[in-house]
Amino acid sequence: MKTLRTGFHLMLVCLSLLGTTHITFAKETQHDKPTNATGKVASPLVVIPEALQYCTVCHGTQFKGDFATGAPNLTGLPDWYLTKQLTAFKNKSRGAHANDLSGHEMRAAAESLDDATILLAVDTITRIPYIDSMPTTHWQRLAFKAAQDDVKHTNKESQTLTPSINNGKKLYATCAACHGNQAEGNPALKAPPLTGLNRWYMAKQLLHFKQGIRGNQSNDPASMQMKAAASILKSNQDIVDVVTYINALNQQELP
Amino acid sequence: MQHISLFMKITSGVLVYFKNISMKKLTRRQFLLKAATAGGSLAVYNASLALDIFDSHVKTENLQLKPGDGKTQIVILGGGIAGLATAYELEKAGYTCTILEASHRIGGRNMTLRHGDLIDELGRPNICQFEDQPNLYFNAGPARIPGHHQRTLHYCRALNIPLQVKANHNRLAYYQEQSSFNGKPKRQVEYIADARGFLAELVFKAINKNVFEEELSQEDQEKLLHFASYYGDLAKDGRYKGSQRAGAVSDRMLSHGNANTPEKLDAFLKSNFWQDALNHSEFYDWIEPLLEPKGGMDQIVKGFAKSLKSRVITKAQVQDIEVLEHGVNITYQHKEALHQLKADYCFNNIPAPLLVGINNNFSTDYMNAIAAIKRKDLFKIGFQMRERFWEKEGIYGGISYTSQKNAQIWYPSHDINAKKGIILGAYVWNPDDCEYFANLGLKERLSLATECGENIHKNYAQYIESGVSIPWSRMNHMMGCGNAFDEEDYPRYFHKAQGPEGHHFMIGDQISYHPGWQEGAFASAEAALLKFNALIKAKS
């Protein structure tokens, strides 16, 4: 992640030199508690164009994500993937499934965006340095309860599972074929980087792929491929394990 | 920050001590005196916070806040009802307030829609197409005030807002259920007469079978028999044969009206109304008569706006909340520029699920408590009708209920006999149905509510001139309505969310037990101000 972050800083500096960035506001006071329940504070803040202020209502300050609205962290995602997903939402190839409740909201938002605004959004988000947001302790509950609610409001209480990194590593071997050994992603295969994604969001999306809520549109073969791949995850335990492994990659806790 | 944590350590030590001594059942006064001796006035404040023993004898109309010194700066995040009331009280006491509001308007969910108003829905912003007439308005948020919501009514008095009676329960309005009585709408009064009749008949039978022999004396059984006969309008033989209380099949003025034939008991039992909506007016918050401001609920917002001198900055989106040792530091974006505002105290009205996404340095406990407040949904539709057809059906105000997706139709209590009127065409509570409506396009929502209305009122569709829909879960800068704690989260987090943390106080109906009511918002503001008052007194 370090390289990614440096990359962004570098880009930010370059853009500043070119004079194309909006003026950013340097905060005088540094937060001495960088990680809390909502994650690290991005400093300096990037000014969000007015046309995109709808986005940060749900996606949070600097697009760092907000589990309470169900909006994921978008910082650190590459431009091609952001463009693909925004377009997918706009074209109803994502967020159209009857059980994808938060997807419905994003689709409604994306439908109102014209191509220029999508470009502006992607440009703005990729100018924001990666924010390592929210190491929430109850990410499993967030992921599974939200996904269950999406399906049938079943409200079945999900217990917290103890993750097995080893099992996660074993499972990830299949994922690595497309997403890369370090989950760095592969644009040629339309496989996004997974490092830096919120655990609750990854787990929820894996469930959605498994349940066919995502990856059911024939005009999006990469997504259909992901749906097929998600079938290797046989249980919530498998999901928890692989998400924990990917998250550990991000934290550079693994060799 | 170091100071804060040291301070916390000291006070928490003192607290453990106080919790122990409080076991000995000291009086409140004794307890606080001991607290003062042990740790000074700030310790008293912290002890009071931890044990939640703020005096509640103080009334909203007389908060008796310590007068401001003219220098103390207050920032209020969110111009909803709680934020406006907070500013009003603090201004009155001599403090300087700034209100930062993310949307284009103040009032939050207190929103009355009229000709030309922007409905700022996520992805589907649209303009209200009602005609420009003073009586054509729609209360999209709160729409009724019961007589015991004395905080709300106090502000109506203080702000000189004229009120009128609003009919909520109307026995002449309909109940319609797709799967009962061939889907035909029935007047609620018919259900009520039947429900009482059936119940009373059963009681009558039971008494005659000596079922209550052990519980009641002979004399009391006779009284109960009398009560049942009168309650259910039973015939002399104790049978329910219909009641003129529900009107009559023929004109009642020029001839003896014959009562409707009652439904068959088994058919009646199959219907859902008598188990549910029939009893809505029994709820304490919906007891008759209810009230509403003349000219729309937002007269309350306008009243505050007129009275306040505070700087109100709309379209100011908060980016960062930093709680300092003696204040707060707020970063917000306004007109494509970032601004910083330092204040001594902060009252925060931002919907908790949105606050979770805003940069902050809250403690993990405080953040977890705020994050426990979940989004909740309600959905409303308002229709402009070219004619007040319902009045010709004998319906003046009140609510018709239906098992269809639109759930309710509300008739206006104001401007009776005017040419046109705005009715509520849907008020949806069921989360699945809210989602169903929200997921439709703007026109499709109105079409669905129109179809539902057709099953209740003949030619409903042809009266409709325009309509608005408000999915509260998608309204920009709110994205929800009220709060929804998971059951297990109430004991764990509710008190913590009521705060404060340092000089940062949460407010809003979201941290009251009365989400979705302005009274909850006013109560939250009152509670926060009392804590603020205790803190500022302790610090002086």
Q: Which of A127, A159, A179 represents a domain boundary (last residue)? A: A127
8 Å CB contact of B361 and A48: no
Contact (Cβ atoms closer than 8 angstroms) between residue B370 and residue B506 = yes
Is A14 found in the same domain as A96? yes
Secondary structure element (H or E) that encloses residue B373, with its range: strand B373-374
Residue A134 covered by a domain: no
Whole-complex ipTM: 0.86
Q: Compute the distance between CA of residue B350 and CA of residue B92 in angstroms, rounded to an integer.
A: 23
Residue A116 covered by a domain: yes
Residue A26 covered by a domain: yes
Residue A203 covered by a domain: yes
Domain carrying residue A149:
139-250
Question: Tokens 């929804």 appear where?
Answer: B484
Q: Is B353 on the interface with A (CB under 8 A)?
A: yes
Is A150 found in the same domain as A90? no
Confidence of residue B31 (pLDDT cuts 50, 70, 90): low
Q: Compute the distance between CA of residue B340 and CA of residue A45 in angstroms, rounded to an integer.
A: 12
Query: Would you state the structure tokens that stand for residue B73, as one six-digit string?
Result: 């700066």
pLDDT in tens, B354-381: 999 999 999 989 998 999 898 899 999 9
Nearest alpha-carbon partner for B477 in A53, A188, A122, A144? A53
Q: Distance from first CA to last CA of chain A, Å, rounded?
A: 14
Identify the CATH number of the domain in which residue A226 sits. 1.10.760.10
Q: Which of A127, A154, A184 represents a domain boundary (last residue)? A: A127
Nearest alpha-carbon partner for A155 in A166, A164, A147, A163? A147
pLDDT in tens, A84-140: 999 999 999 999 898 898 899 999 999 999 999 999 999 999 999 988 775 566 777
Closest residue in chain A to residue B474, using alpha carbons only: A105
Query: Would you state the structure tokens that stand for residue A144, as one six-digit string?
Result: 């599974």
Query: Would you state the structure tokens that stand for residue B282, as one six-digit string?
Result: 């029994």
Q: Is B275 on the interface with A (CB under 8 A)?
A: no
8 Å CB contact of B479 and A110: no
Is A174 found in the same domain as A219? yes
Q: What is the pLDDT along chain A (255 residues), one digit of tens a residue?
A: 334 433 434 333 333 333 333 333 333 333 333 333 344 444 689 999 999 989 999 999 999 999 889 999 999 999 999 999 999 999 999 998 988 988 999 999 999 999 999 999 999 999 999 887 755 667 777 777 665 555 544 445 556 888 999 999 999 999 999 999 999 999 999 999 998 898 999 999 999 999 999 998 888 899 999 999 999 999 999 999 999 999 888 765 443
Is A75 found in the same domain as A118? yes
Residue A183 covered by a domain: yes
Backbone angles phi and psi of B536, in degrees to 5: -70, -30
Q: Which of A127, A151, A171 represents a domain boundary (last residue)? A: A127
8 Å CB contact of B362 and A69: no
Closest residue in chain B to residue A154, using alpha carbons only: B432
Is A189 found in the same domain as A242? yes
> How many structural domains does chain A have?
2
Biggest CA pair distance of chain B = 87
Q: How many alpha carbons fall within 13 Å on the CB side of residue B26?
A: 15
Chain mean pLDDT for chain A = 79
CA angle B352–B357–B360, rounded 5-degree value: 90
Q: Compute the distance between CA of residue A1 and CA of residue B430 in angstroms, rounded to an integer.
A: 44
pLDDT in tens, B474-524: 999 999 997 778 888 888 898 899 989 999 999 999 999 899 999 999 999
Residue A22 covered by a domain: yes
Confidence of residue B7 (pLDDT cuts 50, 70, 90): very low
Residue A132 covered by a domain: no
8 Å CB contact of B361 and A24: no
CA angle A209–A211–A217, rounded 5-degree value: 60
pTM exceeds 0.90 for this model = no
Q: Is B73 on the interface with A (CB under 8 A)?
A: no
Is A201 found in the same domain as A119? no
Is A121 found in the same domain as A18? yes
Is A172 found in the same domain as A194? yes
Is A205 found in the same domain as A108? no
Is A10 found in the same domain as A112? yes
Residue A133 covered by a domain: no
C-alpha distance from B437 to closest chain A C-alpha (Å)? 12
Q: Give the sign of the dihedral formed by CA A119, CA A124, CA A128, CA A133.
A: negative
Is A158 found in the same domain as A123? no
Is A94 found in the same domain as A15? yes
Q: Compute the distance between CA of residue A55 and CA of residue A121 in angstroms, rounded to an integer.
A: 9
DSSP B502: T
Contact (Cβ atoms closer than 8 angstroms) between residue B505 and residue B83 = no
Percentage of chain A lying above the pLDDT 90 cut: 56
